[in-house]
Amino acid sequence: MKDAYYFTHDYNARHDPKCKALINKYGIEGYGRFWIIIENLRESRGYKLEEKKYVWESLAEQLKCPVEETKTFIKDCINEFELLIQADGFFYSESLLERMAQLDGLRAKRQAAAQKRWED
């Protein structure tokens, strides 16, 4: 399994009240932007993004909107929709952290089992 291609998410996330509120305000384009942010978080070290100028610029390019619009959107995802969390100069998804902790734990167990097999 290639790590870059995998992370779990609920197939019905669009029905979550928080996601519905995001869609009501930003339309389906906003929902797409949200998932681009989640994909970026998944690719990032510790599954968090630092609030740095180059991060904002990179996200803005991917979201196809100006940096200030990107910042406003993410701030809404934090403050209005409570889909993201902001702490210590980073923003992240608690749900993604929980899912990745489970996946990372499973991978560590599999790796330990494979190592044990090779040692026996």
Domain architecture of the chain: domains with CATH: 15-93 (1.10.10)
**In the numeric block, which tokens belong to residue 63?**
């979201």
**N-terminal to C-terminal alpha carbon distance within the chain:** 25
With 50 as the cut, is the pLDDT of residue 1 above it?
no
CB atoms within 10 A of CB 21: 16
Q: Are 82 and 18 within 8 A, CB to CB? A: yes
> Which tokens belong to 55?
């991060």
Task: Return the CA Rg of the chain.
Answer: 17
Q: Give the residue-averaged pLDDT of 64-82.
A: 98
What pLDDT is attached to residue 13? 73
| Mean pLDDT along residues 70-75 | 98
Which residues on adjacent β-strands are paired with residue 91? Answer: 49, 86
pLDDT at 88 exceeding the cut of 70: yes
Indicate whether 97 pLDDT > 70.
yes
Q: How confident is the model at residue 110 (pLDDT cuts 50, 70, 90)?
A: low
